[in-house]
Amino acid sequence: MQSVSAFAAAEDLQAISLDELLQVHAPNVYLVKIDGDSMEGAGIFDEDVVIVDKAIDARAGHIVIAAVNGEPVCKRLDYVGRQIVLRSENPRYAPRFIMEGDEFTVWGVVTYSLRSHGPMSCIS
């Protein structure tokens, strides 16, 4: 493991734009805080923040933020034949088949996830 002193001096570091790095281009991109553990297998955990791009056309395999009968969900989009299936990345949760009569809307495709690694109170 390298210590901080092993890295270049602060004046030699190149600035990084999070907007460019994470491809955040308003108004197509927004942030969502995740509530639940259904996507842990994809590395998205409870209270993570995901970056969502509503300009990307959702396809099978994409992780999406969607609404099913008015309830927001974060799931992997899939199809069985022509039927839409929302899959969790946690074996404790069954797939959610979108049935006739369900209201279903994709709000955007998840492009990145962010996780806090410590209390915000340490920043002053």
Q: Is 88 a catalytic site residue?
A: no
33 backbone dihedrals φ, ψ, rounded to 5°: -90, 130
Which residue's structure tokens are 């927001």?
Answer: 72
Sheet of 29-33, strand order: 29-33, 49-53, 104-114, 63-68, 71-80, 83-87, 96-97
Catalytic member of 38, 54, 113, 116 = 38
Q: Is 124 a catalytic site residue?
A: no
Cβ atoms 34, 42 nearer than 8 A: no
Tell me how far apart the alpha carbons of residues 24 and 85 are, in angstroms, rounded to a whole number. 28
Catalytic member of 75, 113, 116, 124 = 75
Can you say how many angstroms the Cα of residue 96 is from the centroid of all Cα atoms in its chain?
18
Positions marked catalytic: 38, 75
